[in-house]
Amino acid sequence: MPLQNKILIADDDAEMLEMLASMLEGEGYSIVMAENGLEAVELARKELPGLVLLDIHMPKMDGLAACKAIKSDQVTKGVPVVMLTVEGSIHEIQQAISYGAKTYITKPSSKAEILKVVKSILY
């Protein structure tokens, strides 16, 4: 059973990863961090977070492939996934949604906007 207050954040941009982690920890969430899609898929299985925030463009495995892997795995298929994207390519977002992502957040985004999306999914 996924833990509602645990969020897995996957982003290859260390500054973005730290900023998101710090902001969400400040709101009382427990954070697990991954630097690429492959690590995100492995940690999603191991940690069973209540939510996964996935950057689309990452090394080893991009966010789209990671989303597909998480949503097609029996263990993690119930974990909601939100994509993080800089340019917000409509094609990539449609692809992510077709793989099972709930929604997306464009980067950079305000703290209020990120928290609104996170809370709407977790509560």
Predicted confidence (pLDDT) per residue in 66-109, tens digit? 999 999 999 999 999 999 988 767 888 899 999 999 999 988 88
Domain membership of residue 63 (yes or no) is: yes
Asked if residue 59 has a cis previous peptide bond (ω within 30° of 0), the answer is no
CB 52 within 8 A of CB 102: no
Domain annotation covers residue 107: yes
Does some domain include residue 114? yes
Q: Identify whether 84 is part of a domain.
A: yes
pLDDT band at 33 (very low <50, low <70, confident <90, very high): very high
Is the predicted pLDDT of residue 36 greater than 60, yes or no?
A: yes
Domain containing residue 80: CATH number: 3.40.50.2300
The pairing of beta strand 81-85 with beta strand 103-106 = parallel
Q: What percent of the chain has pLDDT over 70?
A: 97
Task: Decide if 38 contacts 67 (C-beta within 8 A).
Answer: no
pTM metric for this prediction: 0.94
In a domain, 123, yes or no: no
Closest CA to 79 of 58, 121, 49: 49
- For residue 117, the 8-state DSSP code is H
Quote the mean pLDDT of the chain.
93
Structural domain total, the chain: 1
Domain that holds residue 101: 3-118
The residues with which 82 forms a beta bridge, in sequence order, are 53, 103
